[in-house]
Amino acid sequence: MTKSSFSSIQSEYLALIDHTKCVRCKRCIQNCGWGTYSFGGDKIIADHFKCVACGRCYTYCPEGAISIVKNPTVIRENYNWQEYHIRNIWKQSETGGIVISGMGTTFKYKKYFDHILLDACQVTNPSIDPLREPMELKTYLGKKPSKIELDFNEEGEPVLKTKMPPQIELQTPFVFGAMSYGSISLNAQKAVALAARALGIVMNTGEGGLHDDLIPFGKNIIVQVASGRFGVHRDYLNSGIAVEIKIGQGAKPGIGGHLPGEKIGMDISRTRMIPIGTDAISPAPHHDIYSIEDLRQLIFAIKEATNYEKPVSVKVAAVHNIAAIVSGIVRAGADIVYIDGYTGGTGAAPNIIKDHVGIPIELALAQVDERLRDEGIRNEASIIAAGSIRSSADAVKAITLGADAVAIGTAALIVMGCHVCGRCNTGNCSWGITTQRPELVRRLDPEVYGERLYNLISAWSHEIQEVLGAMGVNSIESLRGSRERLRGIELTDAELRVLGIKHAGL
């Protein structure tokens, strides 16, 4: 519609080139997925309007000649009418559209993890040195019976009578969150798969089907069934270690998904089982789940299809009444409940939803864990907490609040170069992550980034071991749900009550 030069909207960032350093190698032109740079005869020129500050150009500029700066041209400061609102009004008045972006909300909500402190041992009980003593992180996800049943053999020794429900064995309490082939590139998925296998953890296909290249990674993959049912068939359900029914996502509770037709090339078309060039639209609800009893039917349909050999996970967004919802999901037969907080990421979501719907994972998790214990059914399902786990500290706090494991999405993308520019929806990701453009995808080497993902999760696992040792326990299950080891700081009584923890000093 309007040419950028006539738009009210000023470029958010300036791509500044130091021409005294620039050697005109044109790497920036190649590297930028957004077309910011061009060669103007004797020097590189930048169309600032196209820059999203994804960081690719200056990372790969051999001369360090590029700086990306926030556009100093001011929109008059006004705490009420902030730049965010003014820009959106301009954008929407020009396009008549919904404002959409990728990644999680950029709003400055209170981050509860940053208001929770951990305990450590002093004198009365000893801390344990993780470099000298075993420090166990192994975690099993799935339904646990409330009691063991035994038989006794001829020698009178007990043998297991209970038939244990299927479990996912994790060497460390992390899983990679659902990111579909389509929303991210195949190379990005391969990097995650390589890391999951090396770490002894699992990744999640998201609602994009399972590409042939990932089939060998089956033991480290949770396959997802979402409202569009893309790529779902009998072999698909049986090709992973577990099946996940996706009801909602933290970044966009109540909202479906839309992968535009231009991203549906040959490979994605095959994997999703839809024609080339058609839009892949995931409806907001599952059209066979209009209530909890329908969910139960789908859970058991999947269990039938997989011969009761795979745990079934149900993924929901953290919304206001989450505790009761999860209780219902557990009673409906789910083996794992994956709860995604409101700061979770997405490939694309309307900002109105992303920035305003849902609740923090810390509060949701605390309430869910408490509710399931009150009802005496906490053992019936494992809980995975997600929604911007930024560090091992966040992970430890989530586990201590009651999660069995945490899911990593955005952090994994940051490993691959993502600068959280939030433009995943455009398909121009310069890092080759959230794009299907072959020349961009090609630059993401699965082995290089698979190793870095391995490094990150290994490093975080070591950090968790340090924390366990400092707290004087040598197994993650002794910290899981042990809220006595947490204290709140700068929190109100209501917040402390919801979290089920005491204030620091008490």
Partner 1 sequence: MLKLKNKFGIERDISGCGLCGIINTKRVKTTGSDIKKAISVEHDRGNGLGGGFAVYGNYENYAGLYAFHIMYDNLSAKSSVEEYLKNNFVIDKEEPIPTSKTSKITEHPYLHRYFMKPKSDRQDKLFHDLGDDDFVVQSVMLINENYDGAYVFSSGKNMGVFKGVGYPEDIADFYKLDEVEGYMWTAHNRFPTNTPGWWGGAHPFTLLDWSIVHNGEISSYGINKRYLEMYKYNLSLKTDTEVITYILDILIRKHGLPIELATLVLAAPFYQSIDKMNNEKKELLTALRQIYGSALLNGPFAIVFGYSGGMVAMNDRIKLRPLVAATMGDFTYVASEEAAIRAICPSPDLVWSPRAGEPVIVKFEEPVPQKGRVIGL
Contact set with partner 1 (CB under 8 A): 121, 124-126, 128, 133-134, 136, 138, 140, 144-148, 150, 157-160, 162, 164, 167, 373, 376, 378-379, 471-475, 477-485, 502, 506
How far is Cα 319 from Cα 172, in angstroms, rounded to an integer? 28
Record the tokens describing residue 489, joined without a space.
Answer: 């700081």
Rounded to a whole number of angstroms, the minimum distance from the CB of residue 358 to partner 1 is: 26
Shorter beta-carbon distance to partner 1: residue 351 or 474: 474
Per the CB < 8 A criterion, the answer to whether 452 and 196 are in contact is: no
Rounded to a whole number of angstroms, the minimum distance from the CB of residue 406 to partner 1 is: 17
C-alpha distances out from residue 27 to 60, 462, 502, Å: 7, 38, 54
Rounded to a whole number of angstroms, the minimum distance from the CB of residue 361 to partner 1 is: 20
Rounded to a whole number of angstroms, the minimum distance from the CB of residue 482 to partner 1 is: 3
Shorter beta-carbon distance to partner 1: residue 72 or 376: 376
DSSP state of 241: S
Rounded to a whole number of angstroms, the minimum distance from the CB of residue 491 to partner 1 is: 17
Per the CB < 8 A criterion, the answer to whether 312 and 166 are in contact is: no
Rounded to a whole number of angstroms, the minimum distance from the CB of residue 484 to partner 1 is: 3
Radius of gyration of the chain, Cα coordinates, nearest whole angstrom: 24
Shorter beta-carbon distance to partner 1: residue 83 or 477: 477
Shorter beta-carbon distance to partner 1: residue 405 or 471: 471
How far is Cα 125 from Cα 113, in angstroms, rounded to an integer? 26
Judging by beta carbons within 10 Å of its beta carbon (0-12, 13-18, 19+), is residue 95 exposed, middle or buried? exposed
Rounded to a whole number of angstroms, the minimum distance from the CB of residue 184 to partner 1 is: 33
Shorter beta-carbon distance to partner 1: residue 124 or 307: 124
Rounded to a whole number of angstroms, the minimum distance from the CB of residue 121 to partner 1 is: 7
254: three-class secondary structure by DSSP: coil
C-alpha distances out from residue 263 to 126, 327, 417, Å: 57, 38, 21
DSSP H or E stretch at residue 226: none
408: three-class secondary structure by DSSP: strand
Shorter beta-carbon distance to partner 1: residue 196 or 471: 471
Shorter beta-carbon distance to partner 1: residue 16 or 504: 504
How far is Cα 366 from Cα 368, in angstroms, rounded to an integer? 6
Rounded to a whole number of angstroms, the minimum distance from the CB of residue 392 to partner 1 is: 19
Shorter beta-carbon distance to partner 1: residue 43 or 138: 138
Q: Are strands 100-101 and 349-350 parallel, antiparallel or unpaired?
A: antiparallel
Shorter beta-carbon distance to partner 1: residue 393 or 470: 470
How far is Cα 332 from Cα 327, in angstroms, rounded to an integer? 9
Record the tokens describing residue 347, joined without a space.
Answer: 């490939």
Per the CB < 8 A criterion, the answer to whether 331 and 310 are in contact is: no
Within 306-409, where are the H helices?
A: 322-331, 351-354, 361-374, 392-401
Name, in order, each residue with C-beta under 8 angstroms of 20's C-beta and a sequence gap of 6 or more. none
Record the tokens describing residue 300, joined without a space.
Answer: 């058991």
Q: What angle do CA 436, 440, 442 make, to 5 degrees?
A: 95
Among residues 99, 104, 101, the alpha carbon closest in space to that of 86 is found at 99
Rounded to a whole number of angstroms, the minimum distance from the CB of residue 170 to partner 1 is: 12
Shorter beta-carbon distance to partner 1: residue 494 or 506: 506
